[in-house]
């Protein structure tokens, strides 16, 4: 029995330390960013100006279309080499009227395609547009974007230069949360998330030679690359952008992230909208994981002309998908050790949170270096991104010599110097934060909605994303209908520029 207990303690120890894996992987990605210069992505890239058709799927996008289209036409790009094609997916708002004005104002440069039988989702709408764009030989490249995004004036120039390399099939830009002063606490959380998930993570993926996803709001494809993957967008998953990214690389062409090509996008400003958006993304990623299950952690696949089987790329992908499991198992293991070996559990608890503290401080500092202007707007949300409770735990583990005597004076410590009831609550916190984050989402539709932001600040934005991933797992297991739910747009990005 002693041997069994020892084995269980070793297993529990390992499971506790695995709770730090997502943050450690995030730090490793940041450390790779500095190596991007050795990929020579921006060196000796002369201007390359392919004839580009901009494809915009639009369903009830009247509030944002004018600003988006006018912004595209005002970019620094030759007028005779740029066309904007808006695919109207049977809109029932003022979209047709907006498009009549735009096509009359810019004859030949703006095209309005109307689908009378719509409602099938973004991928079907894009395929309708691709059939039109690829139906003649004018377009040498296709820029796929969302109706609400606003491109910086040099964004397309910066993206197009990579297509001068015939080995590059597609380029994606840095999507930044664009509400600015019109945003709120939630959009500032998203702004910080995008520094880590795009500006840093995709630069790291450039170094690895494999990119996980072309941003749906800004992806430039060469004509040859699109035709090589069939000239159509996948319609069988909720992650058509990721599938296109994978298929491009499987076809032997590289995908590049250009962090200097920036695009502003309107993101959800309330928990209900964010949950709907991220649930769709999470389900899509689960579908992609299953669809390409034959590729993961198979580095020898590199001989086939791609690096999707890279071990580190697989670790990046699955450390995010496994976050809810890692956090829950970590909490359960700590509680098990507390009731069977309290001394070991306390030491492991401290090591876990010290590792998390070091990693998180590095992430904050490197985020400020990668995108200082955005960081200055959301630094407060960055500090409490893990949640106020988790932030307090980080401080507790950083200065145990100060806080432990304080807890002892209030009778919260056991005789061996470790917390008693407080320890149980704190050990369970990583697992408890997920259902509490889900509760914050549920409160948005009730008279207690004012408590939702408070609860989110306490449990952390990351816990909300992890809870959303659990919901995605449940929907996938139940084989819930694949429905592309768009988030509502108001045009505040353009208004704030």
Averaged pLDDT of the chain:
88
pLDDT of residue 491: 60
Q: How confident is the model at residue 69 (pLDDT cuts 50, 70, 90)?
A: very high
pLDDT of residue 340: 83
Q: How confident is the model at residue 218 (pLDDT cuts 50, 70, 90)?
A: very high
Q: How confident is the model at residue 410 (pLDDT cuts 50, 70, 90)?
A: low
**pLDDT 10s digits, 306-318:** 999 999 999 999 9
pLDDT at 420 over 90: no
Per-residue pLDDT averaged across 366-387, rounded?
93
254-265 and 110-115: which strand pairing? unpaired
Contact 93, 62 (CB under 8 A): yes
The full DSSP string for 10-42 is HHHHHHHHHTTHHHHHHHHHHHHHGGGGGGTSS
**pLDDT 10s digits, 86-129:** 998 888 888 889 999 999 999 999 999 988 877 778 888 999 99
The secondary structure element, H or E, covering residue 404 is helix 400-409
**pLDDT 10s digits, 220-263:** 999 999 999 999 999 999 999 999 999 999 999 999 999 999 99
Contact 423, 408 (CB under 8 A): no
Helix axes of 342-370 and 2-18: crossing angle, nearest 10 degrees: 20
pLDDT of residue 412: 60
**pLDDT 10s digits, 280-304:** 999 999 999 999 999 999 998 888 8
Per-residue pLDDT averaged across 326-352, rounded?
85
Per-residue pLDDT averaged across 310-339, rounded?
91
The full DSSP string for 303-355 is GGT--TT-HHHHHHHHHHHTHHHHHHHHHHHHHHHHHH-HHHHHHHHHHHHHH
Nearest CA among 178, 95, 84 for reference residue 129? 84
pLDDT of residue 481: 73
Stronger pLDDT, 215 or 414, i.e. the higher one: 215
pLDDT of residue 482: 65
Distance separating alpha carbons of residues 169 and 254, to the nearest angstrom? 6
Contact 252, 305 (CB under 8 A): yes
pLDDT of residue 495: 46
Per-residue pLDDT averaged across 52-72, rounded?
91
pLDDT at 323 over 80: yes
Lowest mean pLDDT among 53-57, 60-64, 201-205, 485-489: 485-489
Half-sphere exposure of 463 (CA within 13 A, CB side): 28
Which residue ranges form the domains of the chain, and what is each CATH number? 2-21+320-477 (no CATH), 40-269 (3.90.550.10)
pLDDT at 471 over 50: yes
pLDDT at 32 over 60: yes
Stronger pLDDT, 377 or 492, i.e. the higher one: 377
pLDDT at 497 over 80: no
Structure tokens at 486: 């768009």
Sign of CA dihedral 225, 230, 231, 232: negative
Stronger pLDDT, 495 or 12, i.e. the higher one: 12
pLDDT of residue 302: 85
**pLDDT 10s digits, 130-186:** 999 999 999 999 999 998 899 999 999 999 999 999 999 999 999 999 887 778 999
């Amino acid at each position: 029995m002693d041997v069994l207990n020892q084995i269980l303690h070793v297993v529990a120890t390992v499971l506790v330390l695995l709770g730090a894996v997502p943050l450690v992987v995030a730090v490793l990605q940041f450390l790779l960013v500095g190596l991007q210069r050795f990929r020579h992505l921006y060196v000796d890239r002369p201007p390359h100006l392919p004839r580009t058709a901009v494809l915009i799927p639009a369903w009830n996008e009247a509030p944002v279309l004018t600003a988006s289209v006018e912004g595209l036409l005002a970019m620094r790009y030759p007028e005779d080499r740029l066309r904007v094609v808006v695919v109207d997916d049977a809109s029932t708002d003022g979209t047709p009227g907006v498009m009549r004005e735009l096509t009359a104002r810019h004859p030949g440069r703006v095209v309005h395609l109307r689908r009378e039988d719509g409602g099938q989702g973004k991928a079907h709408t894009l395929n309708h547009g691709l059939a039109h764009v690829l139906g003649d030989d004018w377009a040498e490249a296709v820029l796929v974007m969302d109706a609400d995004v606003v491109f910086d004036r040099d964004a397309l120039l910066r993206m197009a230069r990579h297509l001068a390399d015939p080995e590059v099939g597609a380029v994606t830009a840095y999507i930044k949360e664009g509400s600015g002063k019109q945003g709120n606490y939630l959009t500032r959380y998203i702004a910080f998330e995008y520094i880590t998930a795009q500006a840093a993570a995709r630069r790291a993926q450039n170094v690895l030679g494999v990119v996980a996803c072309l941003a749906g709001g800004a992806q430039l494809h060469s004509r040859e690359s699109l035709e090589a993957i069939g000239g159509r967008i996948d319609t069988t998953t909720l992650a058509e952008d990721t599938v296109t990214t994978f298929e491009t690389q499987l076809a032997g062409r590289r995908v590049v992230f250009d962090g200097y090509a920036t695009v502003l996008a309107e993101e959800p400003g309330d928990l209900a909208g964010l949950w709907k958006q991220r649930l769709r993304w999470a389900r899509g990623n689960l579908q992609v994981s299953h669809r390409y299950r034959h590729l993961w952690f198979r580095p020898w696949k590199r001989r086939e002309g791609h690096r999707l089987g890279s071990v580190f790329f697989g670790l990046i992908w699955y450390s995010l998908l496994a976050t809810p499991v890692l956090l829950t198992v970590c909490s359960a293991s700590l509680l098990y050790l507390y009731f069977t070996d309290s001394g070991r559990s306390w030491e492991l608890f401290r090591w876990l949170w010290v590792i998390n503290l070091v990693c998180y401080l590095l992430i904050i500092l490197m985020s400020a270096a990668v995108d200082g202007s955005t960081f200055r707007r959301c630094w407060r949300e960055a500090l409490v991104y893990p949640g106020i409770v988790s932030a307090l735990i980080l401080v507790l583990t950083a200065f145990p010599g100060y806080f432990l005597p304080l807890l002892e004076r209030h009778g919260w410590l056991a005789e061996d110097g470790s917390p008693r009831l407080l320890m149980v609550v704190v050990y369970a916190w990583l697992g408890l934060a997920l259902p509490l984050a889900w509760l914050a989402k549920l409160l948005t539709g009730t008279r207690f909605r004012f408590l939702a932001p408070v609860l989110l600040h306490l449990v952390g934005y990351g816990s909300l994303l992890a809870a959303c991933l659990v919901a995605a797992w449940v929907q996938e297991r139940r084989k819930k209908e694949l429905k592309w739910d768009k988030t509502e747009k108001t045009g505040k990005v353009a208004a704030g520029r």
